[in-house]
Amino acid sequence: MDLSEKCTLLLNSEHSLPSDYVVELETVQEVHQVDKDIAGFVRNMLDDAKADGVDLLICSSYRSVARQRELFEQRIKKHMSEGMTYEEAKAKTGLSLAIPGHSEHNSGLALDIVTPRYQILDDDFDKTEAFKWLDKNAHKYGFILRYPKNKTYITKIKYEPWHYRFVGPEHAKRIKEKGLTLEEYLEELKNVSS
- Which sequence positions are flagged as catalytic? 160
Q: What is d(CA 61, CA 163) in angstroms, rounded to the nearest whole number?
A: 10
Closest CA to 46 of 25, 27, 18: 27
Q: What is d(CA 112, CA 72) in angstroms, rounded to the nearest whole number?
A: 17
Helices 39-51 + 129-137 axis angle, to 10: 120
Sequence-ordered list of residues with C-beta below 8 angstroms from that of 126, at least 6 positions apart, any chain: 135, 149, 161
How many CB atoms sit inside 10 A of residue 94's CB?
A: 17
CA atoms within 13 A on the CB side of 22: 4
Question: Using DSSP, how many helices (H) and how many strands (E) does the chain show?
Answer: 8, 6
CB 98 within 8 A of CB 65: no
